[in-house]
Amino acid sequence: MRDTDVTSLHRFDEIENLLTQAKTGRRDLFSDKDFTARLADRLDRMLDGDRILSMDIFDTLVLRDNSSEITRFYEIGGKMADLATSHTGRDIAQVDAFVARHLGTKATYRASGKIRGCREGSLLEIHATASRILTGGGEMSSPFVEAELEYESARIEPNPFLVDYAARHRARGGRVVLLTDMYMHAEQVTQLLNLLGISSKQYDFLLSSADTKVSKASGGIFRNMQEEMQAAPGEFVHIGDSFRGDVAQPIRQGWQALHLPLAQADILERRKDHAKTATMLRETFNVDIDIAMPK
């Protein structure tokens, strides 16, 4: 349908649509001059000089490759198995370490303590449980955590545009904060960012739902950030890839928000990767693990 004298048609998803439809994935788009110019312009207008730029971390400030969670966790299981075998002298299979980590994840998300009615997973709890399942004791907990962080650092890279934009915003007097819904605690995320060359001096504050228990998805973490930064809701502009946690919930809290969704092409790659690993697990070990397909 076309515009007529009386009727005009409008959309509101220029940036979102470009990202969603990016045929070769988002990563290339964040290096595309035309796109980044438009994005910068949009952010400039939203930030209006002095608002606080709040960024999601994973798949926003840092870009993941298109491996799926199930693949990553299975590969982390391999590292865990090597460590546990060395420690115990028993042959611990990669798939068992992967499952032990998964059981630790399920336990922490089901049973950890709540704050303000909210619950979040914890990498420390995940590996404490996994260590006990595999070895009977908690001594492998820290090595497992370190192994996972090291593995993750090899699977992610900084988002060049956003790192640069954040620096420019700070240079003109603005503030930059980071928010993540993640089972990694702030300390671990900071460590990971350092490994990528994003030092804690490049942002003003970082909050992880593993520490706060309230999250972006539940909406509670935004109040925590307001209190930390001593700022009102209207002073924040948040950007991120999750519609619920990075757009709907901050808007409900009175923040402005911009959605930077994953490209369909990226999601499809991740789904294929998930399918590949899930099929391998089923065919090799006869097991289906309830890790959600990327969407």
Partner 1 sequence: MTQTPDRKDMAQNSDEMIRHVGYDCLGPVVHRWLLALDQHVHFFDKGSTSFLYCARAGVRIRRLYDLYLDGLGRQAGDRHNMFWISRLALCKGTYAHNPQYAAEIIAREYYHQPMRELIRGLFRHDQTFLNANEDLLQDTVFDAHGFNFPGWLKSDHPLVEPVDAYLRGCSDSFDTYLTSLIGDSTDVVLIDSGWQGTSQSILHRAFPSLDWHGLYVGRILTPAHDAKIADKVIGLLFQSESYDPDRPETAITLHRHLFETLLEPNGPSIEEITGGPNDDVAQDQIQANLNERVDPERDALFLHVEAYLRDHAGLGPAAIIANHQQAVPELARILARPTREEALAVLCKDRSADFGKDLDVPVLIEPDGNALASDLNVDQRIQRALWPQGQIALEYTGAFRESLQNRVSGQEDNTSHFDPLGTDAATQTAAIDADLPKGPLVAIVTRTKNRPILLRRAADSVAQQTYDSYIWVVVNDGGDEDVVREVIAQSTVDRRKIHLVSNARSLGMEAASNVGIRSVDSDYIIIHDDDDSLHPQFLEKTVRFLEGSGGKRYDGVVTGSEYVSEEIRGDEVIEHARKPYMNWVRNIHLSELLAQNLFAPISFLYRRSVYDDIGGYNEELPVLGDWYFNLEFVLRSDIKVMPEPLAYYYHRDFGDSSRQGIYANSVVGGQSKHEEFASVFRNMFMRQYGNSSPLAAAAISAYFATDIRNRLDAVGTRIGQLEHAVETNTAPQENQNRTDTAEIDRLWLLVHIQRAEMNRNDHEKQTPDPADPNAPIDALVQILASGNIPVAIQPQFDEETYLKLNPDVKAAVDSGSIPSGYVHYLTNGRKEGRERPYCKTP
CA–CA dist 267, 214 (Å, integer):
27
- Binding residues for partner 1, total number by CB under 8 A: 58
**Strand order through the sheet with 205-208:** 205-208, 176-180, 52-56, 236-240, 256-259
What's the min distance (Å) between Cβ of 252 and partner 1? 6
| Look-up of token digits 């260590």 | 131
Q: How many residues does the chain have?
A: 295
Q: Six-digit token pair at 226?
A: 């307001």
How many Cβ atoms from other residues are within 10 Å of residue 59's Cβ?
19
| Angle CA 250–261–185, to nearest 5 | 60
Is residue 170 part of the contact set for partner 1 (CB under 8 A)? no
Q: Which helix (H) or strand (E) holds 265?
A: helix 264-285
- When the beta carbons of 129 and 218 are compared against partner 1, the nearer one is 129
Q: Which of 56, 59, 125, 211 binds partner 1 (CB under 8 A)?
A: 125
Is residue 178 part of the contact set for partner 1 (CB under 8 A)? no
| Look-up of token digits 């980071």 | 178
- When the beta carbons of 183 and 203 are compared against partner 1, the nearer one is 183
Query: What type of residue is 78?
Result: G
Is residue 278 part of the contact set for partner 1 (CB under 8 A)? yes
Q: b/e per residue, 184-222, with b = 16+ CB within 10 A?
A: bbbebbbbbbeeeebeeeebbbbbbbbbbbbbbbbbbbb
What's the min distance (Å) between Cβ of 285 and partner 1? 5
Is residue 108 part of the contact set for partner 1 (CB under 8 A)? yes
Q: Which of 61, 76, 100, 193 binds partner 1 (CB under 8 A)?
A: 100
| 27: phi then psi, degrees, rounded to nearest 5 | -55, -45
- When the beta carbons of 9 and 171 are compared against partner 1, the nearer one is 9
What's the min distance (Å) between Cβ of 7 and partner 1? 5
Q: Which of 45, 136, 173, 201 binds partner 1 (CB under 8 A)?
A: 136
CB under 8 A: which stretch of 162-170, 189-197, 208-216, 273-281 binds partner 1?
A: 273-281
Is residue 47 part of the contact set for partner 1 (CB under 8 A)? no
Identify residues 214-253 at the interface with partner 1 (CB under 8 A): 243, 247-248, 251-252
List interacting residues with partner 1 (CB under 8 A): 1, 5-13, 16-17, 20, 92-93, 95-96, 98-100, 103-104, 106-108, 110-111, 114, 125, 128-129, 132-133, 136, 243, 247-248, 251-252, 259, 261, 264, 267-268, 271-272, 274-275, 278-279, 282, 285-289, 293, 295
